[in-house]
């Protein structure tokens, strides 16, 4: 079984989780851990530990964080250093989170889930380029 934790600065975790629920519905074995203004590293560490404890008996735990080297990431990697079940992915976006949940719900192997999450996360980043005037004619047909 794979438990998933999402954490980030401010109310990032609850915000992205709201989008997940809108698209995929309420997810089991999923915890959002916010890091609101005024909280310290001690508080986010405690909150991450409490989330991990909800997955006692699980084979794997995947923690998604918003930023490399931020407090949620730092708290998560400290736990990962002590618990081999934990993988930490930073730079989470909605596309990678949705894909990960779908793969997890289909029972995919943890190594495939993690590799796919990073790959999809990269694919979900890009820039829209406006078509030039010649290309606009293609849309008129």
What is the Cα–Cα distance from 20 to 39, expressed in whole angstroms?
A: 25
Put simply, whether the predicted model's pTM sits higher than 0.85 gets the answer yes
Structural Rg of the chain based on CA atoms? 17
Residue 132 has a pLDDT of 84
Domain boundaries, the chain: 2-140
Q: What is the mean pLDDT of each run of 10 residues along the chain (141 residues)?
A: 97 98 97 97 98 97 97 98 97 96 94 94 92 66 54
Give me the phi and psi of 111, to 5 degrees please.
-65, -40
Q: What is the pLDDT of residue 107?
A: 92
Identify the CA nearest to 28 among candidates 138, 105, 110: 105
Please tell me the CATH superfamily of domain 2-140, with its number. Answer: Phosphotransferase system, mannose-type IIA component (3.40.50.510)
pLDDT at 135: 63
């Amino acid at each position: 079984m794979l438990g998933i934790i999402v954490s980030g600065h401010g109310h990032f975790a609850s915000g992205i989780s709201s989008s997940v629920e809108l698209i995929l519905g309420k997810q089991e074995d999923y915890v959002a851990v916010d890091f609101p203004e005024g909280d310290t590293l001690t508080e986010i560490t405690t909150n991450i530990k409490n989330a991990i404890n909800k997955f006692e008996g699980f084979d794997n735990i995947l923690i998604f964080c918003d930023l490399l080297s931020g407090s949620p990431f730092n708290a998560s990697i400290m736990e990962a250093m002590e618990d081999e079940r934990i993988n930490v992915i930073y730079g989470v976006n909605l596309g990678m989170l949705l894909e990960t949940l779908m793969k997890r719900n289909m029972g995919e192997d943890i190594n495939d889930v993690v590799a796919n999450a990073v790959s999809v996360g990269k694919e979900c980043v890009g820039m829209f380029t406006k078509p030039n005037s010649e290309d606009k004619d293609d849309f008129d047909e």
